[in-house]
C-alpha cells in the first residue's frame, strides 16, 4: 500500500509545482506586470493550468486512487494518508469532469478580463468590462453544467471554495442572520452617531506602510517566508509554506484602509505559514476552505485589530506617527470612530455590522446569473437597487458599485459567501480562544500575540485542508457553522459603543 501512496504523492508534488509556477505569474500580473502583458500572460497561465490539470486527471492518478480505495480500511480514518486520499479523490472526481481545453480557456479568458476590469474600474466604464464578464458567466454556467444532476446550479461553484456545503445550507444560515443584523443596524441608526472625521484626513502613505509592517510583524508574520506589495485589490497568495505573500492598497484620505487590509491579508498568510510542513506539495497544504481562511483574516482584522485592548497598546504609536491628525483625539474617541456603523458603498471598507449584507447581495446576484434569470448587462441597475434596499444608499457610479470587486473578472463565482461565513466562524473560534486564554485581553494590551497565534496554529492552521470546513468547526467548537455567536459579539460590542 505504501508504494502506491508514495507514487500518488509524486504526482501530487508535480501538480503542486505547476500550480505554484502559475501562482507566481498571477502574483506578478497583479503587482508588477505591465498592462500590455495580459494576453501573453493569459497564454502562459493557460498552458500551465492545462498541464497541471492533465497530470492530475491522468489515468495513472485514477488507477492509484482506485487501488488505494480498496485498501483504505487499513488506515486510521483520521491519519494524514487517509485524509490525503479522501481529499485527492474529491478533487479528482471534480476535475475529471472538466476537459483540459476548458481549463486552459478559462485561465486565458480570466487573465485578460482581470486587466480589462482594472482599466474599466479606473475609468468607471462598465461597458468596457461587459463582454468579458458575459464570457466568464457563460464559462461558469458551462462548468456548473458538467456536474449535473445537482440540487442547485450554484452548488458546484460553492463546492470549489466550501467543500461539502450546499447552496441551501448557506441560504439557511443567511436567512437566520439577515433579520438580526438588520434589526441591529436599525437600533444603531436610532442613536446619536459617533464621529470618525479624523480618519478621513490625509495620512502619509509611507508612514501607513511602516506602521502596518510593525503590526503584522507583532502578529507573527514571518518575513523570511513572505513579503508585502501593493495591488489594486489586496490579496494573499501562496507558492508553498515557505513563500506566502500579501498585498495591500493605500488611500491617503482613509488612514485605516491600508492598515486593516494588511491585518486582513496577514491573517490569511499566518494560516498558510502555519500548515503542517509534512503536507508540503500536496492538496492538504491549503486551508480547509475559504470560509475557514476568512475566519482567520477577519479574526486578526476585526476581533483583534478593532478591539480596545489592541489600541491600548498601539494607539500611542499610531498617534505619534500622525500627530497632526490624531494629536487631539483620545483613545476612546478613536476606538469608537474606527468602529463606526454606517452603510457604505465599498465592501472592504464596510463596518462589521453591515459587512455581511454586502455579501448576501453578491451571492443573490451570482445565483441569479447562474440560473439565467439575470443577464450581465442588467447588473448595474440591479446592483444599485439592491444597495438601496439593503443599505439605504445608491452608488453614484459603477466604480463604487458593480466594478468594485475583482472576483468576477477572475471567474470566482461561489467565493463571496465565504466572507460572511468566515465572519461567523471567526467568533465561534474566538469564544473558544477566550475560554482557553482567560487573560487574552491583558496579553493583547501588552502587544503579545504569541499565545493567540499558538492556539490558532494548534487548533486550526496545522490541519491545512485535512478536514472539511464543517467538520473542522465541529471539532474545534463543538458545533457546525452557527450565526448566533457572531450576533452575540455584535450586540455586545455595539451595545457598549452606541449605548443600546
Task: State the pairing for strand pair 236-238/244-248.
Answer: antiparallel
**Does this model's pTM top 0.75?**
yes
Domain check: are 98 and 229 in the same one? no
Residue 396 lies in a domain: yes
Determine if residue 265 is left, alpha or beta; phi over 0 gives left, psi from -120 to 50 gives alpha, anything else beta: alpha
Domain check: are 185 and 253 in the same one? yes
- CATH code at 231? 1.10.1370.30
Residue 245 phi, psi dihedral angles, 5° rounding: -110, 150
Percent of the chain scoring above 70 in pLDDT: 100
Residue 400 lies in a domain: yes
Domain check: are 390 and 283 in the same one? yes
CB 404 within 8 A of CB 150: no
> How far is residue 423's CA from residue 169's CA, in Å, rounded to a whole number?
16
Domain check: are 191 and 321 in the same one? yes
Cis-peptide, bond into residue 149, ω within 30° of zero = yes
Domain count, the chain: 2
Residue range 195-220: mean pLDDT, rounded: 94
CB 111 within 8 A of CB 29: yes
Domain check: are 476 and 339 in the same one? yes
The string of pLDDT tens digits covering residues 391-427 is 999 999 999 999 999 999 999 999 999 999 999 999 9
Catalytically active residues, by annotation = 265
The string of pLDDT tens digits covering residues 136-181 is 999 999 999 999 999 999 999 999 999 989 999 999 999 999 999 9
Give me the pLDDT at residue 23, please: 96
Q: Is the pLDDT of residue 127 over 80?
A: yes
Percent of the chain scoring above 90 in pLDDT: 92
CB 433 within 8 A of CB 455: yes
CB 125 within 8 A of CB 382: no
Domain check: are 434 and 465 in the same one? yes
Give me the pLDDT at residue 491, please: 96
Q: How many residues does the chain have?
A: 500
Domain check: are 355 and 220 in the same one? yes
The residue to which cell 508588477 is assigned? 32
Residue 488 lies in a domain: yes
Local confidence band at 74 (pLDDT 50, 70, 90 cut-offs):
confident
Residue 157 lies in a domain: no
C-alpha cell at 343: 452603510
Domain check: are 63 and 91 in the same one? yes
Give me the pLDDT at residue 73, please: 78
Q: Which residues contact 332 (CB under 8 A, 6 or more apart)?
A: none
Local confidence band at 223 (pLDDT 50, 70, 90 cut-offs):
very high
Print the SS3 string covering the chain: CHHHHHHHHHHHHHHHHHHHHHHHHHHHHHHCCCHHHHHHHHHHHHHHHHHHHHHHCCHHHHHHHHHHHCCHHHCCCCCHHHHHHHHHHHHHHHHCCCCHHHHHHHHHHHHHHHHHHHHHHHHCCHHHHHHHHHHHHHHHHHHHHCCCCCCCCCHHHHHHHCCCCCHHHHHHHHHHHHHHHHHHHHHHHCCCCCCCHHHHCCCCHHHHHHHHHHHHHHHCCCHHHCCEEECCCCCEEECCCCCEEEEECCCCCCCCHHHHHHHHHHHHHHHHHCCCHHHCCCHHHCCCCHHHHHHHHHHHHHHHCCCHHHHHHHHHHHHHHCHHHHCCCCHHHHHHHHCCCCCCCCHHHCCCCCHHHHHHHHHHHHHHHHHCCCCHHHHHHHHHHHHHHHHCCCCCCCCCCCCCCCHHHHCCCCCCHHHHHHHHHHHHHHHHHHHHCCCHHHHHHCCCCHHHHHHHHHHCHHHCCCCCHHHHHHHHHCCCCCCHHHHHHHHHHHHHHHCC
C-alpha cell at 351: 463596518
Q: Is the pLDDT of residue 253 over 80?
A: no
Residue range 223-236: mean pLDDT, rounded: 94
How many whole angstroms from its chain centre is CA 449? 22
Residue 160 lies in a domain: no
Smallest CA-to-CA distance from 337 within 439, 121, 193, 464 is with 193
Residue ranges making up the domain that contains 383: 167-498
Residue 329 phi, psi dihedral angles, 5° rounding: -105, 120
> How far is residue 321's CA from residue 439's CA, in Å, rounded to a whole number?
29
The string of pLDDT tens digits covering residues 382-397 is 999 999 998 999 999 9
Residue 298 lies in a domain: yes
Q: Is the pLDDT of residue 72 over 90?
A: no
State which of 120, 149, 178 marks the end of a domain.
149
C-alpha cell at 291: 470560509
Smallest CA-to-CA distance from 329 within 321, 319, 341, 340 is with 319
Residue 155 lies in a domain: no
Residue range 462-468: mean pLDDT, rounded: 96
Residue 241 lies in a domain: yes
Mean residue pLDDT of the chain comes to 95
Domain check: are 38 and 180 in the same one? no
C-alpha gyration radius of the chain: 22
The residue to which cell 459579539 is assigned? 489
> How far is residue 350's CA from residue 367's CA, in Å, rounded to a whole number?
23
Domain check: are 93 and 199 in the same one? no
Domain check: are 177 and 106 in the same one? no
C-alpha cell at 370: 447562474
* β-sheet with 236-238: strand ranges across: 228-230, 244-248, 236-238
Residue range 473-494: mean pLDDT, rounded: 96
Domain check: are 302 and 412 in the same one? yes
Smallest CA-to-CA distance from 250 within 235, 265, 233 is with 233
The residue to which cell 468594485 is assigned? 404
First to last CA, the chain: 62
The string of pLDDT tens digits covering residues 265-317 is 999 999 999 999 999 999 999 999 999 999 999 999 999 999 999 999 999 99
> How far is residue 31's CA from residue 29's CA, in Å, rounded to a whole number?
6
> How far is residue 302's CA from residue 425's CA, in Å, rounded to a whole number?
13
Amino acid at each position: 500500500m505504501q508504494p502506491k501512496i508514495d507514487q500518488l504523492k509524486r504526482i501530487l508534488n508535480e501538480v503542486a509545482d505547476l500550480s505554484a509556477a502559475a501562482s507566481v505569474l498571477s502574483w506578478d500580473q497583479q503587482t508588477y506586470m505591465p498592462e500590455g502583458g495580459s494576453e501573453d500572460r493569459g497564454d502562459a497561465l493557460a498552458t500551465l493550468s492545462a498541464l497541471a490539470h492533465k497530470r492530475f486527471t491522468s489515468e495513472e492518478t485514477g488507477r492509484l486512487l482506485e487501488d488505494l480505495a480498496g485498501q483504505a480500511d487499513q488506515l486510521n480514518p483520521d491519519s494524514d494518508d487517509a485524509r490525503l486520499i479522501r481529499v485527492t479523490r474529491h478533487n479528482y472526481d471534480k476535475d475529471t469532469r472538466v476537459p483540459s481545453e476548458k481549463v486552459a480557456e478559462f485561465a486565458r479568458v480570466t487573465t485578460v478580463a482581470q486587466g480589462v476590469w482594472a482599466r474599466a474600474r479606473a475609468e468607471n466604464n462598465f461597458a468596457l468590462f461587459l463582454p468579458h464578464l458575459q464570457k466568464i458567466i457563460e464559462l461558469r454556467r458551462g462548468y456548473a453544467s458538467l456536474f449535473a444532476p445537482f440540487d442547485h446550479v450554484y452548488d458546484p461553484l460553492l463546492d470549489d471554495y466550501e467543500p461539502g456545503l450546499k447552496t441551501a445550507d448557506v441560504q439557511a444560515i443567511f436567512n437566520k442572520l439577515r433579520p438580526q443584523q438588520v434589526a441591529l443596524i436599525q437600533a444603531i441608526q436610532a442613536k446619536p452617531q459617533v464621529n470618525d472625521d479624523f480618519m478621513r484626513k490625509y495620512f502619509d502613505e509611507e508612514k501607513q506602510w511602516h506602521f502596518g509592517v510593525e503590526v503584522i510583524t507583532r502578529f507573527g508574520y514571518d518575513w523570511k517566508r513572505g513579503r508585502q506589495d501593493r495591488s489594486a485589490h489586496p490579496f494573499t497568495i501562496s507558492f508553498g509554506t515557505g513563500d506566502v505573500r500579501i498585498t495591500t492598497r493605500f488611500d491617503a484620505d482613509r488612514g485605516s484602509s491600508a492598515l486593516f487590509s494588511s491585518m486582513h491579508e496577514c491573517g490569511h498568510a499566518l494560516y498558510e505559514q502555519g500548515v503542517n510542513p509534512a503536507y508540503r506539495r500536496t492538496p492538504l497544504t491549503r486551508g480547509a476552505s475559504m470560509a475557514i481562511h476568512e475566519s482567520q483574516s477577519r479574526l486578526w482584522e476585526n476581533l483583534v485589530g478593532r478591539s480596545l485592548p489592541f489600541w491600548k497598546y498601539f494607539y500611542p504609536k499610531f498617534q505619534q506617527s500622525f500627530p497632526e491628525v490624531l494629536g487631539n483625539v483620545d483613545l476612546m474617541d478613536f476606538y469608537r470612530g474606527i468602529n463606526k456603523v454606517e452603510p457604505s458603498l465599498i465592501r472592504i471598507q464596510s463596518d462589521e455590522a453591515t459587512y455581511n449584507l454586502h455579501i448576501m447581495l453578491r451571492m443573490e446576484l451570482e445565483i441569479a446569473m447562474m440560473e439565467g434569470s439575470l443577464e450581465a448587462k442588467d447588473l448595474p441597475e440591479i446592483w444599485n437597487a439592491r444597495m438601496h434596499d439593503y443599505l439605504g444608499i445608491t452608488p453614484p457610479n459603477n466604480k463604487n458599485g458593480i466594478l468594485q470587486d475583482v472576483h468576477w473578472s477572475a471567474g470566482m463565482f461561489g467565493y463571496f459567501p465565504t466572507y460572511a461565513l468566515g465572519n461567523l466562524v471567526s467568533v465561534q473560534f474566538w469564544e473558544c480562544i477566550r475560554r482557553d486564554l482567560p487573560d487574552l485581553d491583558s496579553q493583547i494590551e501588552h502587544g503579545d500575540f504569541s499565545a493567540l497565534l499558538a492556539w490558532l496554529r494548534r487548533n486550526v492552521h496545522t490541519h491545512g485542508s485535512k478536514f472539511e470546513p464543517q467538520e473542522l468547526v465541529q471539532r474545534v467548537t463543538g458545533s457546525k457553522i452557527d450565526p448566533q455567536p457572531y450576533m452575540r459579539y455584535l450586540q455586545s460590542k455595539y451595545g457598549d459603543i452606541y449605548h443600546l
